[in-house]
Amino acid sequence: MSWNCVRNCGACCYLAPAERPFLDEYLDPEQLALYHSLVGQDGWCRHFEPETRTCGIYEHRPAFCRVSPEVLVELYDEAPEDLDAWATHCCREHIEAVHGARSPEMGRFNRAVR
């Protein structure tokens, strides 16, 4: 994949369900319950470490937090040839919502996936 996660972003760890209206279309009931259990009062994942913008349970993070071809095909039913474009689109949506369309995070991401 040419998709790339960039350091010092963390936008996808903002989990407020209002930002993710189609959650129940791709998460089964167990995954959905896990997802909701992660959402803190401020909408950020309880395991997100804001000072470093990293995941506090990185090695044990849920499947829906992992961006790998296997997970994307299984969870989101995307065709393998569409995975790059789909993952890139999702990141841009999250980054725009959390940091802004003209943010340094968006600039770094766009350079990383160019």
Q: Note the residues at the interface with ligand SF4 (CB under 6 A).
A: 5-6, 9-13, 15, 38, 45, 47-48, 55, 57, 61, 65, 67, 91, 94-95, 109
> CB-wise, 4 or 73, nearer to ligand SF4?
4
Cα dihedral across residues 102, 104, 106, 112: positive or negative: positive
Neighbours of 54 (CB within 10 A): 14
> CB-wise, 5 or 85, nearer to ligand SF4?
5
> CB-wise, 48 or 72, nearer to ligand SF4?
48
Give me the least distance between CB of 38 and ligand SF4, in Å please: 6
Token readout for 10 is 């963390």
Report how far Cα 80 is from the mean position of its chain's Cα atoms. Answer: 18
Give the span between the Cα atoms of 39 and 46, in whole angstroms. 6
Give me the least distance between CB of 15 and ligand SF4, in Å please: 6
